[in-house]
């Protein structure tokens, strides 16, 4: 017997699919059917939203819960030490990435970062559960996702483990999709995805689509849209660089890079994510909402603060120098969009390039 909630959820799924199709993010009828069929609410019975500058937990008892579930928004579903460490990706971004996989009937897919299990369910609906393997670093999340998947009638292989290692037990795969952010593509994936197979993975603040070659390398370009995922992490950690505090810094010097550019120019922030990977930042705003200061810190302890046209730096490397280098590259190349960038990955190295593989983009060094 169909309940009122299930009927309402079906209506909301169809409406969301209509919106994604109208926006050009859901063009494949097979994927539209999957989005209309899989009940997202089964995978996000509660989540956090940002309300009045504070995080608020929303559960199925909340009157707007179902409407919020079927918005095109990411929903934070796990908090660790005040930091979101798992979420359900915004459906529009999921649709773009799933379509970029270019799956066909019979394809075997490895998913890295099971999270809530919703993306696994979409893959299982499209290809059949037996064609899907999904790996989750957090054992508790893996168990919960598997339970919810089975409750909805899906039975992909759910593995508690480090997705950076892939899952060789079912290799080779025709496709691999990751739903957490990486700064480098794990080389184990090159060995587990068959030649001519595809890897779709968030890299920095973009998503790259790579074709695995017969020579063992993988190469491809970034997709046009933005991509904002939590970083790949070890179990029990947040994946976010620890803030070093306010370390003793070199005396201030002037800089021509306005902190507001980093705050408001999404295309530049993408370039910055490629040149200075594994870096976090925070902004301060004045009463009128304009950005007045920017603070950055990296996984190796490098730190920089820009305020009032002056910058201070500390740590093992000059982090703001990398920001200035990224901005110079951005301006000199006519503010390039994401799809002008590409990546070549071999077992030995990863190289990011602009326009063509012969034009590498330099990365700032990371000192560990």
DSSP code per residue over 15-26: HHHHHHHHTTS-
What is d(CA 286, CA 265) in angstroms, rounded to the nearest whole number? 18
> Worst-scoring range by mean pLDDT, 188-192, 326-330, 358-362?
358-362
What is d(CA 149, CA 80) in angstroms, rounded to the nearest whole number? 24
| pLDDT for the residue 239 | 59
| pLDDT for the residue 363 | 80
DSSP code per residue over 101-166: T---TT--EEEE--TTSHHHHHHHHHH-GGGEEEEES-HHHHHHHHHHHHHTT---EEEES-GGG-
Tens digits of per-residue pLDDT, 145-171?
A: 999 999 999 999 999 999 999 999 999
Mean pLDDT of the chain: 91
Active site residues: 86
| pLDDT for the residue 33 | 98
> Worst-scoring range by mean pLDDT, 54-58, 66-70, 91-95, 121-125?
54-58
What's the token pair of residue 42?
């089964």
Residue 113: CB partners within 8 Å, gap ≥ 6? 135, 136, 137, 163, 178, 179, 180, 232
| pLDDT for the residue 51 | 65
φ and ψ of 158, to 5 deg: -105, 120
Q: Which of 167, 161, 137, 165 is nearest to 235 (CA)?
A: 137
Residue 53 has pLDDT above 70, yes or no: no
> Worst-scoring range by mean pLDDT, 128-137, 165-174, 233-242?
233-242
What's the token pair of residue 63?
């009157």
Q: What is the mean pLDDT of residues 183-198?
A: 96
Q: Which of 78, 74, 92, 121 is nearest to 20 (CA)?
A: 92
Q: What is the mean pLDDT of residues 259-286?
A: 90
Q: What is the mean pLDDT of residues 231-239?
A: 67
Q: Which of 217, 198, 197, 133 is nearest to 169 (CA)?
A: 133
| pLDDT for the residue 118 | 97
Residues of the chain with pLDDT > 70: what percent? 95
Q: Which of 311, 267, 262 is nearest to 291 (CA)?
A: 262
What is d(CA 290, CA 47) in angstroms, rounded to the nearest whole number? 30
Residues of the chain with pLDDT > 90: what percent? 67
Residue 368 has pLDDT above 60, yes or no: no
Q: What is the mean pLDDT of residues 263-287?
A: 90
Tens digits of per-residue pLDDT, 303-339?
A: 999 988 899 998 889 999 999 999 999 999 999 999 9
Q: Of the CATH numbers 3.50.50.60, 1.10.238.10, 3.40.630.10, 3.40.50.150, which one belongs to the domain with range 4-222? A: 3.40.50.150
| pLDDT for the residue 34 | 98
Q: What is the mean pLDDT of residues 256-270?
A: 90
Banded pLDDT at 2 (limits 50, 70, 90)? low
Distances (CA, A) of 140 to 6, 145, 158, 160, 270: 27, 9, 12, 9, 32
| pLDDT for the residue 1 | 44
Residue 25 has pLDDT above 70, yes or no: yes
């Amino acid at each position: 017997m169909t309940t009122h909630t299930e009927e309402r959820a079906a209506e909301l799924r169809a409406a969301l699919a209509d919106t994604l199709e109208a926006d050009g993010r859901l063009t494949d009828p097979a994927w539209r059917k999957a989005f209309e069929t899989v009940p997202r609410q089964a995978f996000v019975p509660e989540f956090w939203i940002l309300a009045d500058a504070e995080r608020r937990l929303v559960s199925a008892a909340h009157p707007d819960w179902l409407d919020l579930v079927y918005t095109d928004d990411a929903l934070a579903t796990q908090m660790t030490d005040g930091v979101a460490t798992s979420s359900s990706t915004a459906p529009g971004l999921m649709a773009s990435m799933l379509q970029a996989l270019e799956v066909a009937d019979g394809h075997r897919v490895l998913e890295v970062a099971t999270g809530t299990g919703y993306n696994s369910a979409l893959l299982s609906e499209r290809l059949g559960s037996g064609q899907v393997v999904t790996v989750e670093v957090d054992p508790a999340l893996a168990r919960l996702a598997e339970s919810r998947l089975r409750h909805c009638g899906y039975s992909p292989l759910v593995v508690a483990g480090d997705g950076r290692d892939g899952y060789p037990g079912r290799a080779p795969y025709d496709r691999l999709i990751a739903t957490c952010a990486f700064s480098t593509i794990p080389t184990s994936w090159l060995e587990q995805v068959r030649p001519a197979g595809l890897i779709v993975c968030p890299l920095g603040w973009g998503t790259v689509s790579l074709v695995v070659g017969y020579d063992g390398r993988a190469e491809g370009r970034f997709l046009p849209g933005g991509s904002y995922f939590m970083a790949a992490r070890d179990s029990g950690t947040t994946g976010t660089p620890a803030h070093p505090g306010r370390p003793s810094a070199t005396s201030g010097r002037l800089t021509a890079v306005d902190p507001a550019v980093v705050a408001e120019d999404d295309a530049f922030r993408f370039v910055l994510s490629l040149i200075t990977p594994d870096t976090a930042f925070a902004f301060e705003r004045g009463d009128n909402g304009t950005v007045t200061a920017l603070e950055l810190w990296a996984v190796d302890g490098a730190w920089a603060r820009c305020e009032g046209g002056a910058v201070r730096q500390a740590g093992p490397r000059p982090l703001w120098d990398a920001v200035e280098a990224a901005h110079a590259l951005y301006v000199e190349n006519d503010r390039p969009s994401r799809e002008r960038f590409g990546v070549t990955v071999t077992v030995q190295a990863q190289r990011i390039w602009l326009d063509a593989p012969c034009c590498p983009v330099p990365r700032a060094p990371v000192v560990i």
